[in-house]
Structure 1
Amino acid sequence: MLARRCLAILLATTFAAALPAAAEPLPISDIPADFKPSDEVKDFTIREVQIPMRDGVKLHVNLVIPKGAKNAPIIFSRTPYSADKAITGLASNTYKLALPVTYAELAAAGYIIAVQDVRGRYRSEGDYVVARPLVGPLNPANTDHSTDTWDSIDWLVKNVPETNGKVGTIGVSYGGFTTLMSLVNPHPALGAAVPINPLVDGWVGDDWFHNGAYRQSFLDWVYRMTADRSSKYGLQFDRYDTYESWLSAGSASGMAKVLGIQDFPIFKKATAHPTYDEYWQGQALDKILAKEPLKVPTLHVHSLWDQEDIYGAPAVYKAMEPRDAGNADNYMIIGPWQHGQSNMASGTKLGPIDFGSNTSAWYRSEVLIPFFDAHLKNGAPKADLAPVTAFETGANVWHRYDRWPISCASGCPSQSKPIYLQANGALGWKAPAARAAFAEYVSDPARPVTYRERPILSTYNPNTSWGRWLVDDQRFAEARPDVVTFVSEVLTEDVRLAGQPIAKFFASTSGTDSDWVVKLIDVYPAEYAPAPEMGGYELAISMDILRGRYRDDPSKPSAIPANKVVPYEINLPNVSHRFLKGHRIMVQIQSSWFPLYDRNPQTFVPNIFFAKPEDYKKATQRIYTSAQYPSRIELPVVE
């Protein structure tokens, strides 16, 4: 009996010991409340910080610090496009794969990378204002991009122990704009700045307008950037070919209503300021920086085929040059790129145009990094950089210049040389002798000339080729009856250009307003042995538009006198190009560039944004080519 009782106790004890302990309650969520990936196997660390500004608003910054960094300078970028997205491959264990190519190369050269969300975007606090102006008449607050940059740099040099206390700013496009803003009352620790394809003057030639013609494609950007703080909404057009969408909408304000953005503040600002008034002039950075002392060495990066901000870099370089007494602090590099291509892995080609080498990689290794090293690294030698480094397309060679566009280091003078539009579509160096001659076409707003072949996709369509449209073959336009073409004889020797072409022409219109588009084009030989598919290619090297109402005063529009000969002048984008022997030079002129720019109704109305359907009328256009009216392009020829 006793044995049975002992056995029962033993069994019960053993069974109890085998039971699991009471389980802890399961968490409500499978996602940990506080988790940070381990950096043990990485060759860099990520440090996320919220930097307080002078008004208490905190701005988000991602710091990428290579392992073992010590006395390292900081490369600082400020972006509205997400500081998180700027670090593209965090799953990688090496910064060479975790960072975009330019940041990766700078990190490999010994730099700490800091990327900040600008005020009101993504993970930064505060309110977002597109291209927020400096504190003053256009900005009643006490903060702007200049003050936010100053406060951020001050915090970084005091709170990042791995740094040597020196900072360089860099950015492309909007980031180029914020980089230029860092030069206004710069922080003492700011040792160098590299604005790349910056937004400088939104009315003259960057983003919003070009010489008064509204850039309708900008509405894509407006929608993505201001519908919310993190660009989660994508613009949807009702047709794959947006040419049809824009045409059916009528005016730019008509399209804004279709898209539901007619009340977006940034669009209302544009419609309220169609002229070059104090609103635009007061925030033009070339004008602002022309008045600032040159305290920070600056490298301006310009792209010859920049489809978004082709005006900015040369304009700011020119504005700052008088402040550079020793010709040692104001630099520019001119490359054969689209917008931002200098930051891309490859700069060997743009569309079908081959440059014979990786120009982007060359710029970063031979110009960008030596420039930063010389100004930000303790004890670094002076960089062997020319004041201006320019790639000459056509010849596919780099040149070193002592300034732009006056002369070059080897003593080759640049001078203006006119090439004249002549009767019967000719183009030549001799002034026309005809007493009365003109080329004529009818411009019909119902059938506007496109800026490229259809179908024309929206800017952010997954299949878009927006980045390369400036190098599109222009034969599609030459074939239209509402485009006039002037072409030279086959060149018997090279013609080298380095500077800004200026179109000076005489025209009349049967309407009371008109747009004028002028294109300077390199025509390849009909049979081209190096690349047969390029035979006859018409490569535009400089193109722009002028809204006729602003011919005399961009701040005071006036009707064009109907059927009267009127002189016009258009400063075309800068060129660094060689027309090779065997090629021809071409000029095309037209009166619409759609849907890139809004249509001119060709009837003078107070505000084209609100033009009515009945305002759009056909007009007969004449381009004069006589001795009395010698229309021409002033070319910056290097002899």
Structure 2
Amino acid sequence: MIKQFVSTLALILAVSGHAQPAALTPTMQPDIGAKYDAVTPDADYVRREIMIPMRDGVKLFTVVVMKKGTSGGPILLTRTPYSAARATSRNVSLQISEILPVADKKLVEDGYIRVYQDVRGIHKSEGDYVMTRPLRGPLNGTATDHSTDAYDTIDWLVKNVPETNGRVAITGSSYPGFTSLMALIDPHPALKAAVPMSPMVDGWVGDDWFHNGAFRQGFLDYFVGQTGSKSADTDVAMGRRDYYAEFLAAGSAGGFAKKYGFDTLPAVKKVMEHPAYDSWWQGQALDRLLGSRPLTVPTMLVVGQWDQEDSYGAPAVYRALEPKDTNNKMLSLVIGPWRHSGVNYDGSGLGVLRFEGDTGRQFRDDVMKPFLDSHLKTGAPAFDAPPVLTYAVGADKWQRHDRFPAGERVNLYLDDRFSLSLNAPAAKAAHDDYVSDPAHPVPFVPVPVNLNDRAMWGAWLVSDQRHASTRPDVVTYVSPPLKAPLQIHGQPEANLFASTSGTDSDWVVKLIDVFPEENSSQPDLAGLQLGIGMEIFRGRYVKSFEKPEPLTPGKAERYRFLLPGVNHVIPAGHRLMVQVQSSWFPLYDRNPQKYVPNIFHAAPGDFQKATQGVWRDTARPSHIAIPVVGGAAAARAALPN
């Protein structure tokens, strides 16, 4: 009877169109099998993962993203060591504007095809990872580099992405800014524009790893994160997070590297083996490499006034390429009021500073996109790209100029009574002394210092410098209140005459905008000592970056070095300040103040106190050459005698 019921039920289900239940899934069938695709048919975009072959057979992981229905779209490429998968999956969403970085939103909504690629050897790309892989040649005996990989990638994309119009631009910030510049060496014919942002250009002179020979030891964590594993996710097991105490206890930067095993990593070993600006560094300097080649791709260089990582690169490449831009149509330099890579985020403020609107979005929408459109989109309006575009901090507006700097150099002298003057000193022999003690280095921000605190790190260049100006090992010079606004446009140059009782020394020079002591409308700005431009120089390189020498105790040497590029308007009532010190810790490794062949290997007994002299007399007139809009006349109006 039961068998007859079951048969009858099966017949009824079959007649009614209901199939019998499928066989049950076996309990022990593996649960991780085919990849789940989160992009459902309801998504408003197409996302493709591709392994693009390079000329040597290595395949690079590449993600192509576009709005559904895109046709004849230009390609915007970014080549990154920071994971193409993550860059194109910021959120789990069916909307393209949600899965991509915010800076991509307007572009993809207007038909751009966005492409991100893992550089060779990291994340999902094949091959060997060499951090900032040098150009093929003396330092790279292979046939491939970031230039050839960019060429091969572009060649594949224009031939195999049916939705494209065959025109490509490249962009990216920091390391991807570096790869953007590398694509300009022997560029593919389809590469029509480039927007390198905060590019790493010269890791010794002024970008990530060193500044004028002083090692930025906080970046040891970066080396570990980038090279500790192919997935680039290695962290440092420090435990406590006061880097000031940790680096001080470790002694030298090399001692810190040894303590945590960093010294076994090839990238760290290479840097520690090349403390001076030798052929290894010179052969990788992109401003030199690009300066020796024709400028064939319209290029817009972008950097932040307070870029805490790569302030050197964009202005250096601009200086190298600007003479090649004979009609002022191929090259642009943009400086905004941003931190490192801040152009790609909300630019309405930085630290305690507030600006007129979202300056990052203003640039992206009003300048970058029309620039790209004019070179990549069929029928797009012509765009008169500004040769130089800078945001005037203090006046809160964008300004266009034909050249950088737009200011004329005016000397601001360190004077007696710790003051500043436009007049050269008259004293025959005058100097101000302080004692620099490596056991108590000047912190770059108040302790404790957590270099993994992104909020602190991103805004530290606009942090209040009052924590340093009151220290006895920082000598401070202040002007009277300005009688009229003073606009600085360009790169101030430090001209410091200084002596030491030791045989080596670091010199830090800070140019500072001092706010009035009262500000009822914005109390957190009252008395603020805001860095306009700050930089360091390692004394052993005063005669040669390539061949360091011990300093002669007591002898004043002239140290000349550029501060970062700015457009800064100092209002009437504010004062100018210059601070000079001999340590900037733990951002930079401590100088032992006794000459040793390689500071990475300085022993505890090498670190010694030194008496430092800042000279300000007729023969040794220490000063800051500031590029003033309006020149000497404007400077005299602001700082009358």
Q: Does 1:395 align with 2:385?
A: no
Amino acid at match of 2:430: A
Displacement of 1:29 = 2.2
Structure 2 partner of 1:23: 23
Amino acid at match of 2:446: E
1:500 to 474, 477, 491: 491
Structure 2 partner of 1:161: 162
Structure 2 partner of 1:119: 120
Displacement of 1:261 = 1.1
Question: Given the superposition, is the C-alpha separation of residues 37 and 628 from structure 1 closer, same or farther in structure 2, using an over 3 Å criterion?
Answer: closer
Query: Retained in 1: the 8 A contact 2:66–2:96?
Result: no
Partner Cα distance (1:621, 1:544) in 2? 18
Partner Cα distance (2:498, 2:190) in 1? 54
Structure 1 partner of 2:331: 330
Q: Does 1:563 align with 2:554?
A: yes
Displacement of 1:438 = 1.2
Displacement of 1:108 = 1.5
Amino acid at match of 1:396: D
Partner Cα distance (2:603, 2:287) in 1? 36
Partner SS state of residue 580, structure 2: strand
Residue by residue, what CA displacement relative to the aligned partner does 1:483-541 show, whole Å, maximum 9, x if unpaired? 00000001001111111111112111100000000000000011124412211100001
Q: Does 1:483 align with 2:474?
A: yes
Partner Cα distance (2:23, 2:598) in 1? 74
Partner Cα distance (1:312, 1:241) in 2? 30
Q: Does 1:591 align with 2:582?
A: yes
Partner Cα distance (1:464, 1:522) in 2? 22
Partner SS state of residue 432, structure 1: coil
Residue by residue, what CA displacement relative to the aligned partner does 1:349-398 show, whole Å, maximum 9, x if unpaired? 10001112210010001111001000001121211331111101111111
Q: TM-score, normalised by structure 2?
A: 0.95
Query: Retained in 2: the 8 A contact 1:81–1:117?
Result: yes
Structure 2 partner of 1:422: 415
Q: TM-score, normalised by structure 1?
A: 0.95
Displacement of 1:322 = 1.2
Partner SS state of residue 84, structure 1: helix
Displacement of 1:99 = 1.2
Structure 2 partner of 1:575: 566
Question: Given the superposition, is the C-alpha separation of residues 530 and 434 from structure 1 closer, same or farther in structure 2, using an over 3 Å criterion?
Answer: farther
Structure 2 partner of 1:224: 225
Partner SS state of residue 537, structure 2: strand
Displacement of 1:268 = 0.8
Structure 1 partner of 2:143: 142
Query: Retained in 1: the 8 A contact 2:39–2:94?
Result: no
Partner Cα distance (1:531, 1:25) in 2? 66
Amino acid at match of 2:79: R
1:437 to 413, 426, 430: 430
Displacement of 1:11 = 4.9
Structure 2 partner of 1:545: 536
Question: Given the superposition, is the C-alpha separation of residues 22 and 190 from structure 1 closer, same or farther in structure 2, using an over 3 Å criterion?
Answer: closer
Larger displacement relative to structure 2 (556-565 or 18-27): 18-27
Question: Given the superposition, is the C-alpha separation of residues 581 and 21 from structure 1 closer, same or farther in structure 2, using an over 3 Å criterion?
Answer: closer
Partner Cα distance (2:335, 2:516) in 1? 26
Residue by residue, what CA displacement relative to the aligned partner does 1:323-374 show, whole Å, maximum 9, x if unpaired? 1111101011110000011001x10110001112210010001111001000
Partner Cα distance (2:394, 2:25) in 1? 72
Larger displacement relative to structure 2 (434-443 or 229-238): 229-238
2:448 to 455, 468, 472: 455
Q: How many residues align?
A: 620
Query: Retained in 2: the 8 A contact 1:39–1:45?
Result: no
Displacement of 1:629 = 1.6
Question: Given the superposition, is the C-alpha separation of residues 70 and 513 from structure 1 closer, same or farther in structure 2, using an over 3 Å criterion?
Answer: same
Query: Retained in 1: the 8 A contact 2:335–2:566?
Result: no
Partner SS state of residue 148, structure 1: helix
Larger displacement relative to structure 2 (87-96 or 226-235): 87-96
Report % sequence identity. 50
2:596 to 605, 625, 630: 605
1:322-361 to structure 2, matched below 5 A, reads 322-344=323-345, 346-361=346-361
Larger displacement relative to structure 2 (447-456 or 381-390): 381-390
Amino acid at match of 2:355: F
Partner Cα distance (1:114, 1:235) in 2? 32
Partner SS state of residue 157, structure 1: helix
Query: Retained in 2: the 8 A contact 1:197–1:310?
Result: yes
Structure 2 partner of 1:284: 285
Residue by residue, what CA displacement relative to the aligned partner does 1:209-251 show, whole Å, maximum 9, x if unpaired? 0000001011010010000011222123242211000000000
Structure 1 partner of 2:509: 518
What runs of 5+ residues in structure 2 fail to find an aligned partner? 11-19, 631-641
Residue by residue, what CA displacement relative to the aligned partner does 1:427-480 show, whole Å, maximum 9, x if unpaired? 11111112222111000000000111111002x34x652111000100000011
Partner SS state of residue 78, structure 2: strand
Structure 1 partner of 2:369: 369
Structure 2 partner of 1:314: 315
Residue by residue, what CA displacement relative to the aligned partner does 1:237-290 show, whole Å, maximum 9, x if unpaired? 242211000000000110001111111111111111111110000010000000
Partner SS state of residue 85, structure 1: helix
